[in-house]
Amino acid sequence: MIPEFDWGVFLSEPWNSYQIETTMKIVGMGFLVSAACGWIGVFLIVRRMALIGDAISHSVLPGIVLAAMLFHTLSGPWIIIGAGLAGFLTTVFIEWIQKHSRIKSDAAIGIVFTSLFALGIVMVSQMKGSVHLDADCVLFGNLAEVATRNGDFILPPNMIQAAIVLGLTILLSLMFYKELLVSSFDPILARSIGIRAGLVHYGKMAWLSVIVVTAFEAVGSVIVIAMLIIPGATALLLSDKLRVALVLSLVHALLSSVIGYHLALWLNSNIPAAMVVAGLLLFGLAWVFSPSQGIIPVWMARRDFSERIALSRSGRK
């Protein structure tokens, strides 16, 4: 049964003076992770590489597990390097299989990411010791715990890392905006003017791995896929300008984190999953109501047009 919705308990209570800190941390962590994913997701979607995001979110696992085994931590530079390396290798493996066999890219992606993920899961079962990592955590993450964990600073360590990663994601994409844009839109022009499109691609994949691993402990390897794709997909329904879409993906990340948190409190569910459900609702709204592409505005425009034609015809009689 769905619990009864109580406005006081589920909407205002989380923001009272006792709970606001927890709420801010959880919603904030959700936003930081979802925003970084959504931002790079826009660049993946316009290059029709959403599937690669799917792949990398899984295949970073062996890198994470290996780094966790060696350095007994799930955050910090070693995990990032491990995951970055795993993500980079994923991209290389996929292209290598494509180049040296008749297997096409979709199948190559399917082979590489599932087997690397499987390898990671096998490695997880071998892990013993101080770091907690199990299949549940791999799949769903643990946002509330990660966001409220105590560290050396006021904010939890994972949150600081997520904030830095989001900031760098935006900064890097602005610094290399030209290169990202032209190598996504017209790789041949990019190469003909001396931009190393391959290098841009590998750099993007390595940075994607960094984002994914930053999100990993909080939301797990499945939810992160939704966070990579849904904000960007929603934003691109609402605008046909890349820059506007990037900003809208941040708005989407913020709204889905806030709404999702309340949803999770109401339904007593996993928080990142509720955030994705909220994000999906926003996507649905954009799909139906987007002024330029929405189902209803497009239908209304078509109806108006038909009416006008009918009117002009009857007027002529």
Partner 1 sequence: MAESESESPALEVHDLTVAYHKKPVLWGVDFEIPAGNLVGIVGPNGAGKSTLIKAAMGLLPLSSGWVEMFGEPLEENRHRVGYVPQREDIDWDFPVSVMDVVLMGRYGKLGLFKWPKKEDRRVAEESLAKVKMLPFANRQISNLSGGQQQRVFLARALAQESDMYFMDEPFAGVDAATESAIIDLLRDLKSKGKTVFVVHHDLSTVKEYFDWLILLNTRLVAHGPTEEVFNPDMLGKTYGGQLTVMTEVAEALARDDGLDATRRH
Q: Using CB under 8 A, which of the segments 54-62, 126-134, 241-249, 252-260 binds partner 1?
A: 241-249
Task: Using CB under 8 A, pick the residue from 59, 90, 234, 239 that binds partner 1.
Answer: 239
Q: How far is CA 313 from CA 114, 299, 302, 308, 309, in A?
A: 60, 21, 17, 8, 6
CA angle 164, 203, 84 (to 5 degrees): 65
Nearer to partner 1, 194 or 315 (CB): 194
Q: How far is CA 295 from CA 6, 284, 292, in A?
A: 33, 10, 9
235 closest CA partner among 44, 24, 27: 44
Task: Using CB under 8 A, pick the residue from 46, 170, 206, 280 that binds partner 1.
Answer: 46
User: What is the identity of the amino acid at 314?
Assistant: S
Q: Would you say 149 and 158 are in contact if contact means Cβ atoms under 8 Å apart?
A: yes
Nearer to partner 1, 171 or 295 (CB): 171
- The yes or no reply on residue 242 touching partner 1 (CB under 8 A) is yes
- The yes or no reply on residue 200 touching partner 1 (CB under 8 A) is no
What dihedral do alpha carbons 100, 105, 106, 108 form, nearest 10°? 30
- In whole angstroms, the minimum distance from the beta carbon of 312 to partner 1 comes to 24
Q: Using CB under 8 A, which of the segments 162-170, 187-195, 205-213, 216-224 binds partner 1?
A: 187-195
- In whole angstroms, the minimum distance from the beta carbon of 243 to partner 1 comes to 9
Task: Using CB under 8 A, pick the residue from 72, 132, 178, 196 that binds partner 1.
Answer: 178
CA angle 11, 233, 206 (to 5 degrees): 105
- In whole angstroms, the minimum distance from the beta carbon of 240 to partner 1 comes to 4
Q: Would you say 23 and 152 are in contact if contact means Cβ atoms under 8 Å apart?
A: no
Nearer to partner 1, 130 or 192 (CB): 192
Which residue is associated with the tokens 């390595």? 206
Sign of CA dihedral 21, 27, 31, 37: positive
- In whole angstroms, the minimum distance from the beta carbon of 159 to partner 1 comes to 30
Task: Using CB under 8 A, pick the residue from 158, 184, 214, 257 that binds partner 1.
Answer: 184
- In whole angstroms, the minimum distance from the beta carbon of 48 to partner 1 comes to 7
- In whole angstroms, the minimum distance from the beta carbon of 233 to partner 1 comes to 12
**Which tokens sit at 265?**
């409190």
Task: Using CB under 8 A, pick the residue from 104, 132, 196, 241 that binds partner 1.
Answer: 241
Q: Would you say 253 and 219 are in contact if contact means Cβ atoms under 8 Å apart?
A: no
What number of chain residues touch partner 1 (CB under 8 A)? 24
Q: Using CB under 8 A, which of the segments 3-11, 23-31, 120-128, 233-241 binds partner 1?
A: 233-241
Please list the helix, strand and coil fractions of the chain in percent, rounded to the nearest 5, in that order: 80, 0, 20
| Residues near partner 1 (CB under 8 A) | 46, 48, 175, 177-179, 181-182, 184-186, 188-189, 191-195, 236, 239-242, 245
